[in-house]
Amino acid sequence: GVLAHLERLEAQARESALKQEEKEQQEQKLAGLKARVQELRARRDELRAKLERQQKGILEKEGVETDAEQPSARAVLEWKIRSMKDLLQLFYLTGISGKLTKRGVCFCISTAYEGTYLHSYYLDVLTKPEVQIQRHSVPTFIPLEQIARKHLQTDIRRFLAVLSDHLNAYAGRRYQADQLQERFSDRLEGTLQRNSLCNLLVFHYNISGHSRSFLFSAKLLYSDLCCSLPTEAIVSCTPNAPGELAEMAAAHSETFRRLALHKAFDSFSKAEVTQD
Amino acid sequence: MENNVYKVYEDEIQLLEEEIKLLAGKYDDLKQESTFYSDEEILTSIKLFQKEFQGESKGECPSDLKAQLESLEREMSFLMKFTGIHFTSHSKKTLEKHENRTVQKHRLSGNCHSLPFQLEFQLLETQSKENVSAVITDFNVKMESEEYSDLSKFVSSTEKHGNLLLFFRSLSSYAEWYEHRRCTFLHFKVLFIEL
């Protein structure tokens, strides 16, 4: 009786001690978090005020607020270093840039479709004992060896220009095919078939008119590897389709040869709207 | 229940830390972009900097900053010589800066071989999990010289589509051809005079 009772009391005491400890830990943690929030809020408010003063100062042409009256020599140099890094980064926007390496140059060819920059490709070129490509990230279906054989030893700038033309045309073709799949998936019937070089595309698409929908099939061939428009566009419709459709197919073929793929489809959509 | 209370504070801490990072970045950007030091001021600073640290060894060694500058200048000089594109002035303004999205306005002038150019464009950079994507908008080219009359149609088309890369690639080959033509013309001119 008594022993059991004592044991129970002991157990209760331990339990309440543990609970008390737990409660204190939680309170401490909470206090810590609260303090951190206060600290961060203060820092954030300080930065906001600093930014406001800075913007006001610039507007009033009083100059930028600095800690000292005159910028230190170090600050000036750090400004120049950052300014040069910013400018060097812009070179990739021009299409051909590079970095000097111990044994040569690592060139970077950037690609873009209109205003959108796409993938960049790298070539590690050694200049001694003779100009050679040590490493590169150019895909295998681009005729790199052929272009190198023709130009690399005689005119490296020309080599890079020709390679850039190939890569940009490939990137442009790929971009157009991707755009077609992304933006006009409701028009495509089945999958768009393409090869790795994206210079052969086969797809089926539907056009609606006069409250009916017609299926066309297209085969686009880009035999000029430096061009992102097809040299041949074969468009056909189902064999027993009405006559006007043959005219439409011919018109589409011409459109595909003249406009980028996704822009061609934009024009089809517009034509449909005006028709109905 | 306690976990919920913690989470509220922890979430706010995360938000505050992100905001602080963004604000500090904005301050630095604005400071960088609204300052300009001429080449003379840079040279003076280099000399001053080396004097300041003679005998002291506080923080970064003067030779480190100087070496960094020299290495950047070498890279710049190589690229400009190789591509024929010389940038003579550049100003940048950060219009928008979020966690994974930055919009900057750039003003760039220079010459490509002997042809001068002046450009303005907006650059939108978006950071995704795999990479950074860049898109050009509001691309404007200012060219007044008569050499560009052949190019004006082409230039307007690149402006319309924000085709900065094509502008540079084409300007580069046109400038080379133009240079070649000018040299050839001069060569024949001289020949004629001699005759």
Nearest to A98 among B13, B79, B108 (CB): B79
Instruction: Answer whether residue A44 shows pLDDT above 90.
Output: yes
Q: What local confidence, expressed as pLDDT, does residue B186 receive?
A: 82
B104 and B47: one domain? no
Q: pLDDT at residue A63 above 60? A: no
pLDDT of residue B57: 54
Domain count, chain B: 2
> Are B162 and A115 within 8 A, CB to CB?
yes
Provide the pLDDT for residue A68: 44
B117 and B41 both lie in a single domain: no
Read off the pLDDT of each residue in A242-254 and give the average, rounded to a whole number: 88
Do A190 and A226 belong together in one domain? yes
Contacting residues of A for B166, CB less than 8 Å apart: 112
Which of B45, B85, B134 is nearest residue A73 as measured by Cβ atoms? Answer: B45
Q: Is residue B69 part of a domain?
A: no
Q: What pLDDT, on a 0 to 100 scale, did the predictor assign at position B39?
A: 87
pLDDT above 50: residue A72? yes
Cβ separation A88–B76 shorter than 8 A: yes
pTM: 0.84
pLDDT per residue as tens digits for the range B130-153: 888 999 999 999 876 666 677 888
CATH number, domain of A131, equals: 3.30.457
A246, pLDDT greater than 90: no
Residues within 8 A of A (CB atoms), B 1-60 only: 2, 5-6, 9-10, 12-13, 16-17, 19-20, 23-24, 26-27, 30-32, 34-35, 37, 41-42, 44-46, 48-49, 52, 60
Decide if pLDDT at A211 tops 90. no
Spatial separation of the C-alpha atoms in residues A106 and A126, rounded to whole Å: 8
Q: What is the pLDDT along chain B (195 residues), one digit of tens a residue?
A: 457 888 999 999 999 999 999 999 999 998 899 888 888 888 888 888 777 766 555 555 667 888 899 999 999 999 999 999 999 999 999 999 888 899 999 999 999 988 889 999 999 999 888 888 999 999 999 876 666 677 888 888 899 999 999 999 999 988 888 888 888 888 888 777 776
Q: What digits encode the pLDDT tens for the residues B16-36?
A: 999 999 999 999 998 899 888
Query: What residues contact B2, with CB distance under 8 A and at least 6 apart?
Result: A26
Residues A126 and A153 in one domain: yes
* Residue-range definition of the domain harbouring residue A106: 90-171
Nearest to B78 among A43, A90, A100 (CB): A100
Domain enclosing residue B7, as ranges:
1-51
B162 contacts A55? CB cut-off 8 A? no
Is A68 inside a domain boundary?
no
Instruction: Find the CB nearest B41 among A76, A94, A112.
Output: A76
Q: What is the pLDDT of residue A67?
A: 46
Of A100-109, A136-145, B94-103, B184-193, the least confident: B184-193
Question: Which chain B residues are Cβ-neighbours of A97 within 8 angstroms?
Answer: 79, 83
Shortest CA gap B191–chain A (Å): 28
* Same domain for A255 and A224: yes
